[in-house]
Amino acid sequence: MTKIFINRNIKDVDLSSLQDGDYLKYDSSSDKWITVDGLTEAEYKELSEWLDNVTLSGTGATYINTDSAVALVVENSGTYDNVLVVDTDNGRVGINKVPGYELDISGNVALPATNHNGRKGVIYKDGHRFIHDFSYGDNGTTTPTGNNIFVGKDSGNLSMGDTAAGSYQASNNVGVGSYALKNNTNGWYNMALGHASMYYNTTGNRCTGLGGASLYTNTTGTKLVGVGYNAGRYTSSSGSNQTSTDSVYLGADTKAKASGDVNEIVIGYGAVGEGSNTVVLGNTSITKTFLRGGTYLEEMTAPSTPPSNKAVIYLVDDGDGTQTLKIKFDDGTVVDIANN
């Protein structure tokens, strides 16, 4: 049975003749709410018009509380817990409790999974998506697995997966921060933490961006790591690093040598990569590099001539059981340093 408590002055109806404990019930034959005593026909009419907007489930009585400070309370008659409390004086609504805030809930909140069918289950803040777990659902070709989570102003989107060809696509993504992974289409297993991290990512997958605008311009690159503000965002020429793969950028403003580099490792604030299959430690302001412990060199074939103002040290097998440590200068000159 459901009970409703209504403030005596609601809708300016004078209910002063009612006492606590008086009951109202709906009379279907007369299409109005009636009580044992107390109300005039006009009061019945005005009150019943207001109560027509209240939908009750189950059977029971409607209770008028003439001393209540709130406009409406729906209670469970078995436990008398406050199921719904509307406090019009303070503009508050409480569920399972008297509200202390505009919306005050004691208990759990259940939301549906978010997909393209109705796009329900999204929590909005100031008119913008704030929390959702969008997964497209059946797009006619496949049904993406989902398991996405997005937190932050307009992070993620409500269309990714519409062109997915496999269930793994557009799935298992985490975007935390405003606009993180905002343009993702079919990318999967990405983690973007920070404002606009991986903002332009479309099909890029298995990437990790940590920091504001980290991997910001990546679109299709895969297996990237960018840690720090703007990490991996730009190339050495200040272009967009859109398609590099299998690369690591550690430090704010680290850059790739060029978009499309493969297996490039760049470490240190403002450090710029030297291209595919290279490692850079530090930016151009570094004057000393300290390596603890021994440094091991593997034998290799003679490298190409290094760029201008650079030299390369390498170890070669002499073919007779000995090795020679060599240095090659930018003009192609090779000098033996030591052999055994």
Chain segment 86-97, per-residue pLDDT in tens: 777 788 888 888
Would the pLDDT of 80 be above 90? no
Across the chain, what does the average pLDDT equal? Answer: 84
Q: Which region among 26-35, 166-175, 222-231 has the lowest average model confidence (pLDDT)?
A: 26-35
Percentage of the chain with pLDDT > 70? 76
Q: Domain range for residue 23?
A: 2-105
Average pLDDT over residues 210-224: 98
Residue ending a domain, among 105, 127, 146, is 105
Residue range 293-315, pLDDT digits in tens = 999 999 999 899 998 999 999 99
In a domain, 163, yes or no: no
Question: What is the spatial distance between Cα 92 and Cα 178, in angstroms, rounded to a whole number?
Answer: 29
Q: Tell me the DSSP string of 157-220.
A: -S-TTTT-SSTTTT-S-EEESTTTTTT-SS--S-EEESTTTTTT-SS--S-EEESTTTTTT-SS
Residue 47 pLDDT class (50, 70, 90 cuts): low
In a domain, 9, yes or no: yes
Would the pLDDT of 3 be above 70? no
Q: Which region among 75-89, 262-276, 316-330 has the lowest average model confidence (pLDDT)?
A: 75-89
Residue with more model confidence, 20 or 85: 85
Residue 14 pLDDT class (50, 70, 90 cuts): very low
Sheet strand arrangement including 225-227 = 123-125, 128-132, 149-151, 174-176, 191-193, 208-210, 225-227, 248-250, 264-267, 278-281
In a domain, 334, yes or no: yes
Residue ending a domain, among 43, 70, 105, is 105
In a domain, 230, yes or no: no
Contact present, 163 and 184 (Cβ < 8 Å): no
What is the model's pTM? 0.77
Residue 129 pLDDT class (50, 70, 90 cuts): very high
Residue ending a domain, among 105, 137, 166, is 105
The total number of structural domains that make up the chain: 2
